[in-house]
Chain A
Amino acid sequence: MTNLKVLVVDDNQTNRLLPGLFLRALGHEVSECDSAEQALAWLADNPCDLLLLDITMPLVSGLELCHQLRAQEQLKHLRIIAYTAHALPHEVALLKGAGFDQVLLKPISSQDLREAIGS
Chain B
Amino acid sequence: MSAQTGLIWLLAAVALGLAYLSWATARRRQALQDQLQQALDGKQRLQAFLMSMSHHLRTPLNGIMGYAEYIHSSTQEPMVQFTSKIILENSVHMLHLANGLLDLSNIQEGTLQLSHASFELPDLIGSLKALHQVRADEAGIELFAMMANDTPLVMQTDPYRVRQVLNNLLDNALKFTPANGQVVLAVSPSANGRQVTFSVQDTGPGIAAELQATLFKDNISNPSRFVLRPQQGAGLGLILSHHLVRLMGGQLDFSTLAGQGSLFFFTLPLQADNPG
Binding site for B on A (CB under 8 A): 12, 14-15, 18, 21-22, 85-90, 105-110
A107 touches B58 (CB 8 A): yes
The CA of A88 and the CA of B64, in the complex, are separated in Å by 21
A sample of 22 cross-chain residue pairs with beta-carbon separation below 8 angstroms, ordered by A number, consists of A14-B67, A18-B67, A21-B66, A22-B66, A22-B70, A85-B54, A85-B55, A85-B58, A87-B54, A87-B99, A88-B51, A88-B105, A89-B111, A106-B59, A106-B61, A106-B62, A107-B64, A107-B65, A107-B95, A108-B62, A108-B65, A110-B70
Q: A109-B69, A110-B73 are in contact. Are A86 and B62 (CB under 8 A)?
A: no
The CA of A22 and the CA of B74, in the complex, are separated in Å by 11
B91 at the binding interface (Cβ < 8 Å): yes
Binding site for A on B (CB under 8 A): 51, 54-56, 58-59, 61-67, 69-70, 73, 91, 95, 99, 102, 105-106, 111, 113
| Shortest beta-carbon distance from B61 to chain A in Å | 4
The CA of A21 and the CA of B63, in the complex, are separated in Å by 12
A85 touches B62 (CB 8 A): yes
The CA of A108 and the CA of B55, in the complex, are separated in Å by 14
B59, B61, B105: the one within 8 Å of A12 (CB): B59
A88 touches B54 (CB 8 A): yes
A21, A88, A107: the one within 8 Å of B61 (CB): A107
Main secondary structure of the interface of B (DSSP, over half): helix
A18, A88, A107, A108: the one within 8 Å of B102 (CB): A88
B66 touches A108 (CB 8 A): yes
Closest 3 CB pairs of A and B: A85-B58, A106-B62, A14-B63
Q: A107-B58, A107-B61 are in contact. Are A87 and B102 (CB under 8 A)?
A: yes
Q: A18-B67, A109-B69, A110-B69 are in contact. Are A88 and B62 (CB under 8 A)?
A: no
The CA of A18 and the CA of B73, in the complex, are separated in Å by 14
| Shortest beta-carbon distance from B100 to chain A in Å | 12
The CA of A108 and the CA of B111, in the complex, are separated in Å by 25
Cβ contacts under 8 Å, A86 to chain B: 55
The CA of A106 and the CA of B94, in the complex, are separated in Å by 13
Closest to B56 in A: A85
The CA of A22 and the CA of B51, in the complex, are separated in Å by 29
B55 touches A18 (CB 8 A): no
A88 touches B59 (CB 8 A): no
B55, B59, B69, B106: the one within 8 Å of A89 (CB): B106
